[in-house]
Amino acid sequence: MYDDVLVPTDGSEAVDRALDHAIPLASDHDATVHALYVVDRRVANASSSDLHEEVVADLESQGEAAVAAVAEHAREAGLDVETHVEHGTPDTEIVAYASDAGIDVIVMSPEGKSPRERIQSLGSVSDRVTDDSTVPVFLIK
């Protein structure tokens, strides 16, 4: 039923709660776990031109660490895992990745926030993913 489980990550503790559900779900179905971090281009573009490359590099580094943490949990459970760091708007990239990669279910927490959402109140990434996704989205509070 579920061959591919997507766990979007922002590196926050909320992702650990999502993993508490995603890992058993993937294990029960012998599914591949996909860890996805999105470098929020809105944050990168908001930085001054002098800092743009530095901000992007920092966000990419955070993203690599975030997907590596998800991968570690998945591998400890004996699961296959794929990691990806994309650039764009988080909700748009999560939905696009799910469609492009043939994801069967997305497991995420609504409590994590992108860097820009920490600065401004833009609504929830998880709300927009739930609204736009063509596959089931499990929100773990």
Residue range 118-140, pLDDT digits in tens = 444 445 899 999 999 999 999 99
The mean per-residue pLDDT over the stretch 18-29 comes to 97
Q: What's this model's pTM, rounded to 2 decimal places? A: 0.89
Q: What does the pLDDT read at residue 41?
A: 83
Q: Average per-residue pLDDT in the chain?
A: 89
The CATH classification of domain 4-139, taken from the options 3.40.50.720, 3.40.50.620, 1.10.1060.10, 3.30.300.30: 3.40.50.620
Distance CA 135, CA 68 (A): 24
Q: Which residues contact 70 (CB under 8 A, 6 or more apart)?
A: 7, 9, 15, 19, 33, 35, 81, 83
Q: What does the pLDDT read at residue 47?
A: 63
Q: How confident is the model at residue 89 (pLDDT cuts 50, 70, 90)?
A: very high
**pLDDT > 70 in the chain, percent:** 87
